Amino acid sequence: MSVHPPSLGAVTDEVLPLLLPGALPPSSPARTASRRKPARPAPEVAERRPVARVAVDSGLAHLDRLFDYAVPAQLDDKAQPGVRVRVRFAGRLVDGWLLARVDDTEHVGRLTPLAAVVSAERVLTPEVAELARAVADRTAGTLADVLRLAIPPRHGRVEAAPAPQASADDKAAAGPSRLVPDEAGLWSRYPTGAGLIAALAAGRSPRAVWSALPGATWPDEIARAVVACVASGRGALVVVPDGRDLQRVGAAIDATGVRAAALSADLGPAERYRRWLSVLRGDVQVALGTRGAAFAPVQQLGLAVVWDDGDDLHAEPRAPYPHVREVLRLRAQLSGAALLIGGHARTAEAQQLVESGWARPVEAARPTVRSLAPAVDGTGEDQLARDPMAQAARLPALAFDAARAALAAQTPVLVQVPRRGYVPSLACERDRTPARCPSCSGPLASMSSSSVPGCRWCGRLAGDWVCPGCDGRRLRAVVVGARRTAEELGRAFPGVTVRTSGRDGVLATVPAAPALVISTPGAEPVAVGGYGAVLLLDGWAALGRVDLRAGEEALRRWFAAAALARPAPAGRVVVVADRGLTPVQALIRWDPAGAAARELAERTALRFPPAVHMASLVGTPTALTEFVSALSVAAQADVLGPVPAEGGQERLLLRAPLGRGADLAAALRAAASVRSARKGEPVRVELDPRVLA
């Protein structure tokens, strides 16, 4: 077998069995017998560009490269770059994507021909192929894994069906936008908003981090940005966390007259593929959807938008675990498109883009914020025990009074209750400061009431822990999970309608009438005219999560719910947590940018992501030892752990400086490739994981 560059290989009849585990050794009787078989006549190959370079659909890291195949003459017309193909690989037929047709190969000898072209539809565009390779490199993954996320499964009947003919009404609705492209609209409330819209309409590509004002108008603002981009002759892509947000953005864009394809798993495989093809074929210029839509093949992409980038739903749970924000950032950089990262709150990652100069902030002036924000106050849970009037609903007096006043004003009240099931953590008994490891700043936890607290990152014991805030030495378990129920609140407010929105059913809207709306985070319905009061219960539960992002995530959820309240004085927000805590103060001041700047500064001082790159390795002790020994960068990265993980496995964390992210990813890919070729035990590799606990 000839030597090829790391990204290129040749597949021939002679070397195929050597590529995958289970191959017969060269001297085995079976192999010797097979060589005595008469050679098959070589098929006639295409005259022009007879070599196809194929990405084989294999999750094995050591096969993450392109392989050369011969193009049979009968497949010449169909075998074009971007089509799905079937190839013979290690003695069996497997799927693959044809990425290029070339004239020559470095291999000396006969190439194995393509077995079949699955479809002549060129589903993998050059832009998406380049993006998929960049995402794989950034996340220490394989191209095949990323392409599975980027390209939906094929439906032959959908491909073969003629494109639906638009009716006269549809054509009229899909005509020119009803909005003036460079007119700022609601964006005029931001000092730099009008400039952003004008730049998009002029065909430029600004990059911005947008702190949305309170209210439910953000879908209309996104629609306005999309209209400006489409007016410049370019396409747009919008990614939101869930189906409810997708419906709101879709309705806002439809109202402008711009055609858009909404992509969501809820549509079903066939309908989603039909809409995806409409984007691929250029029938529509705008695609919007949830996580998977980040790879939608929008033609001439001019604008990519991600809303609420801190939502966990933007993090892909399948290998190589890319985040929508990072996918769209790479896509904007590769294609020269504009990027808009928006939300009521701001993540530390978005703040880092601002502070590095890669993106510009879009924020409203303080007088504008104050005119639209509700009045916010905080209260401690310790008031519950001293408040007989509110014990039935387990609400402090401040929250009870706010709800009663809103109901009396004939407005609905939103009650946000944290989800159940958070893992208990430790905090200072005196001031409830989360307990961190003195060595690596990881979260402390205790396996039992009698065990010595230990770090969940590096595994070191911390029996001599001292609180950095008050010098206290006593630890307490953070009480997590909400036990308040709609029935309890109904007893506290007899005769008031109680609605629930959560796992069993998510409400889109509620009328402007007195009602108690009990919702889990992310399922808050929009109230017509806004809520008169928003109660954010169990602040300690949200802030006490065993998670690096506990404070950031709590504040994100609070901002999302509080933004649905009416402006002060008609709207009031009460968070059941000590008003002296930093996240509570950020909500009271309605200052997402300031909170993100402080969060990033603290993580920089503690060497937490995104100020550093962190890799999580999960596997058996033997597999982790072998993996780390194969890492060329291990000596230049901090190794934290191992610590116990689920299923009897262990976890290691590797921490590298910010400028060495590409080196760390390359080293992880190289080590995974070596161990894959040696059939080593699997190790789950995740670069810059969303959750560090």
pLDDT digits (tens, 9 = 90+) for 191-228: 999 999 999 999 999 999 999 999 999 999 999 999 99
**pLDDT(32) > 90:** no
- The better pLDDT of the pair 394, 673 is held by 673
What is the maximal distance between C-alpha atoms in the chain? Answer: 93
Structure tokens at 685: 């590799």
Task: Determine the pLDDT at residue 635.
Answer: 60
When mean pLDDT is compared across 55-69, 290-304, 410-424, the lowest value belongs to: 410-424
In a domain, 80, yes or no: yes
Give the ranges where 361-485 is alpha helix by DSSP (H).
366-372, 397-408
Same domain (yes/no): 359, 378: no
Q: What whole-number distance in Å separates Cα of residue 160 and Cα of residue 514?
A: 53
Structural domain that includes position 90:
8-122
Looking from the CA of 461 toward its CB, the CA atoms found within 13 Å total 5
Residue 135 lies in a domain: no
Same domain, 353 and 395: no
Residues 681 and 581 in one domain: no
141 inside domain? no
Query: Which of 589, 615, 637 is where one domain is finished?
Result: 589
Range 37-45 average pLDDT? 67
| DSSP letter, residue 286 | E
**Higher model confidence: residue 633 or residue 257?**
257
Q: 3-state class of 680 per DSSP?
A: coil
Number of neighbours of residue 495 by Cβ within 10 angstroms: 7
- What single letter denotes the amino acid at residue 154? R
Other beta carbons within 10 Å of 583: 25
State the average pLDDT over residues 89-105: 94
pLDDT in tens, 270-306: 999 999 999 999 999 999 999 999 999 999 999 999 9
Taking residues 419-440, report their average pLDDT. 70
What mean pLDDT is predicted for residues 296-318?
A: 97
- Domain count along the chain: 4
The pTM of the full predicted model, rounded to 2 decimals, is 0.85
CA–CA separation, 97 and 67 (whole Å): 11
The structure tokens listed for 353 are: 């883009």
**Residue 249's pLDDT band (cuts 50, 70, 90):** very high
**In DSSP terms, which residues pair with 68 in a beta bridge?**
10, 53
β-pairing, 84-89 vs 66-70, is unpaired
Asked, for residue 146, whether it belongs to a domain, the answer is: no
- Within 10 angstroms of residue 534's Cβ, the number of other Cβ atoms is 33
Mean pLDDT across the chain, nearest whole number? 86
Distance CA 327, CA 333 (A): 10
Lowest-pLDDT choice from 310-314, 345-349, 627-631: 627-631
User: End of a domain among 328, 347, 367?
Assistant: 367
Residues 6+ apart with CB under 8 A from 9: 65, 66, 67, 68
The CATH number of whichever domain residue 542 belongs to comes to 3.40.50
User: Is residue 336 domain-shared with residue 401, that is, in the same domain?
Assistant: no
Same domain, 660 and 585: no
**Whether 192 and 330 share a structural domain:** yes
* Whether residues 303 and 163 fall in one domain: yes
Domain boundary among 349, 367, 385: 367
The confidence score (pLDDT) of residue 172 equals 42
Cβ atoms of 551 and 175 closer than 8 Å: no
Query: Does 176 lie in the same domain as 27?
Result: no
